[in-house]
Amino acid sequence: MITELIKTQKLRNFQLLAMLKKQLKTIITLVTLSLVFSCINNTIKKSNNIISINYPESNLFKIKDDNWIIIDDIKVTHKNNIEKVNNFSIPSYSFTSLKVEGKTLTEKANTIDMGMHLYNVLKHSNKYIFHNKAEILINGKITFSRKDKKKILIEYKKNYPVNISF
């Protein structure tokens, strides 16, 4: 009789363990899907023939190292260290511009800096026509279109502090 009870209890434990494993797999699947969909919906995509981009002065401090914006097939990444910069990089809000003898010079970018750096990256691609270049020097606003007249596709994260208008 005791052996019968032990066998029954073991069977119940086994069934309970199997049920818990199944529930755990379901929870892990739901969490994984939730993370995947939250990442997918975390970006904004816009397109138009003529686009204006401006970094508002009041939100520049939000631009950190490795933030990015994709314009057509060009991924422009912000860097906080001038030594990490390449042809597709522009400074983050606070960036190290010089290191000498263990000392660093840290600068803060402004709207015009951001506009000029982005303009230079896009200009080197030789894909775009820039309208009203003086506006870049006045307020950092870049207005441009593609030379081939196709729509420009822009993608960036929701919290990326940029104004994009058509």
pLDDT computed for residue 38 by the predictor: 54
Tell me if the pTM is above 0.75.
no
More confident residue, 91 or 151: 151
The region of weakest confidence among 1-10, 92-101, 119-128, 153-162 is 1-10
pLDDT band at 40 (very low <50, low <70, confident <90, very high): low
pLDDT computed for residue 80 by the predictor: 84
Q: For residues 33 and 28, give the distance between their C-alpha atoms in angstroms, rounded to a whole number.
A: 9
Q: For residues 84 and 99, give the distance between their C-alpha atoms in angstroms, rounded to a whole number.
A: 13
Amino acid at 89: S
